[in-house]
Amino acid sequence: MIENLQAEIHVVDDDPAMLESTAFVLQQVGLRSVTFTEPKKFLAMSAKPEIGCVLIDLSMPSMSGIELLRELRVRNFSKPVIVLTGCGSVTTAVAAMKMDAFDYLEKPVKHTDLLDAIYRALASVEPKQSEEIKQQSFARKLETLTKREREIMDLVFNGLLSKQIAAKLGISIKTVEVHRSHVTKKLGARSVAELVRWLTVYRLEKETTG
């Protein structure tokens, strides 16, 4: 399971006391939280955490929880959303689930039940988000390569040996091997084979996502 410290829980509720209480509970188990009294401020947030989930109160004056869920669905929001309500009914529960809510809890919620729902939500997206994080990390590492290192990396990826790369670029085999060593170290690969495998996955993912 992903370490708790990597996750960030966003809590959207118009009740400041509820926000404070929830944030305290999360803090006690090592979960970071960001609270919002206004749904629109949550929607306007530019920086999104790589891992996490969202807790949404169903009854808010400026925008109801169902309306917020609907807006998140339109935006293809991928993180799980747990709905909290103090006036639950079968109708609202069904409406929330139709808007792709991960879970539906009635207030007052026991701390153990809330944490159980959060942990299940985080676990449900862990594989996908873990892979996204790896891809983002690899992309950042690629940006640290020099022009020559990237050039040699591409030739290695295309199956050329050091001797062939040296001849193609007009440099010594020793220089090629030094650059190749720098590439593997910068990208964190333990071998050329691992480097090629990572590049293959990364480029296929880029082609898929556009």
Overall domain count for the chain: 2
Task: Report the amino acid identity of residue 43.
Answer: L
CATH number at residue 22: 3.40.50.2300
Tell me if 159 is assigned to some domain: yes
5 pLDDT tier (thresholds 50, 70, 90): very low
Residue 200 included in any domain: yes
Q: Are residues 81 and 172 in the same domain?
A: no
Domain residues for the domain of 202 are 144-209
Q: Is residue 137 part of a domain?
A: no
Are 122 and 150 in a shared domain? no
pTM above 0.85, yes or no: no
CA–chain centroid gap for 163, Å, is 41
Same domain, 26 and 106: yes
Distance of CA 127 to the CA centre of its chain: 10
pLDDT tens, position by position, 130-186: 566 667 678 888 989 999 999 999 999 888 999 999 999 999 999 999 999 999 988
Instruction: Give pLDDT tens digits for 77-106.
Output: 888 999 998 776 667 777 787 778 889 888
Tally of helices (H runs) and strands (E runs) in the chain? 9, 5
| pLDDT tens track for 25-71 | 998 888 889 999 999 999 988 566 666 899 999 888 888 888 999 99
Q: Would you call 121 exposed, middle or buried from its count of C-beta atoms within 10 A (0-12, 13-18, 19+)?
A: buried
Does one domain contain both 162 and 107? Answer: no
